[in-house]
Amino acid sequence: MSIGVTRYFIDAHAHIMTEKRNRGGLRWAHRMIKDFHSPQETDPEKLLSHATSCGADYLFNLFYPLRAGETRTIHQWQYQFATKHPEVIPFASIHPADEDKIGILTEALDVLGMAGVKIHPYVQEFDLLDPRMEEVYSYIEARQCPLLIHSGFARFYGLPSMVEQVDTFLKRYPRMKVVLVHMLWPDREIEFCKDYLEAYPSLYLDITNTACLVQEHPGQSEMLRSFIARYSHRMLAGSDFPMSAAYPVSSVYQAIYNVCPDRESAENVCWRTAVHLVGAERFIGLNLT
């Protein structure tokens, strides 16, 4: 890999989508982020090539519906893209207004072989505790497949913090294999996440974007390093590419490595935790010996 520091790098948070959605996502990012830099490409093949040339050996690909009725089409596209590119690990999603939500997810997990489910309550415009999602959460908890939940950066979206909803959610579904994407930062200080990890053994934290942006806050940066030293086996990271916090994406990967206090924690955050989360059998060519 190009950063040349860990055995593998698994980008556990990428959004390579159809060209139409890539265009829309990048337009949105340019509106939302001052001085946003991104590749000029929207072709999914070229975006994937950029990520792998920058050091990603594998990617968790997250592509979620913005409205009801498009989820199955997205899942089919994800399946075809991942079939063509085995380094891509596709994740399913769902919209609260979808009909037959359990049928859609069962097909995605059992027929299309997706690794888990990703939801983004802010962008998908629903409350984490929306009653329409209760059957989905119960199903995912029973299946013990990972659920990746966007959390944190409430001010960026101009929306209320999800801290209280996350507290309630974890109490309702204590055995669910949950990944708190962005680890609720900066809405909840890093040190308080230890209470989550101690209380919920199936909980993981994703430091995507946090690893880059925390560098602007020296005290928080040191706190994150100390936290990783203790909990790296429960932490993973990615780039949010192509809506990354920095560009080229190799700089994001390097920032993730840099925030790790030692080689062992870097190996965990950069790939081992991701493998443990979804199973080594999904990573063709991965050598654990």
> What would the pLDDT profile of 15-55 be if each residue is shown by its tens digit?
999 999 999 888 877 776 777 777 778 999 999 999 999 99
Three-point CA angle 187, 145, 90, nearest 5° = 85
Q: Over range 94-100, report the average pLDDT.
A: 98
Question: Which amino acid would we find at residue 156?
Answer: F
Query: What value does the mean pLDDT take over residues 241-248?
Result: 82
The percent of residues in the chain predicted with pLDDT above 90, rounded, is: 83
For the chain, the average pLDDT equals 93
Amino acid in the structure at residue 217: H
Query: Given a cut of 50, is residue 221 above it in pLDDT?
Result: yes
Percent of the chain surpassing pLDDT 70: 98
CA 156 – CA 180 distance, rounded (Å): 17
pTM: 0.95
**48-80 pLDDT per residue, tens:** 999 999 999 999 999 999 999 999 999 999 999
Bridge partners, 147 (sequence order): 117, 178
pLDDT bracket for residue 98 (50, 70, 90): very high
**CA–CA distance, 237 with 247 (Å, rounded to integer):** 16
Above 50 in pLDDT, residue 1? Answer: no
Mean pLDDT (whole number) for 107-134: 98
Q: What are residue 62's DSSP bridge partners?
A: 91
* Residue 148 DSSP symbol: E
Q: Give the gyration radius of the chain's Cα atoms.
A: 17
Residue 242 has a CB neighbour count (10 Å cut-off) of: 23
Whether 262 shows a pLDDT value over 90: the answer reads yes
For residue 246, pLDDT beyond 90:
no
pLDDT recorded at residue 4: 54
**Structural tokens at position 178:** 């949950």
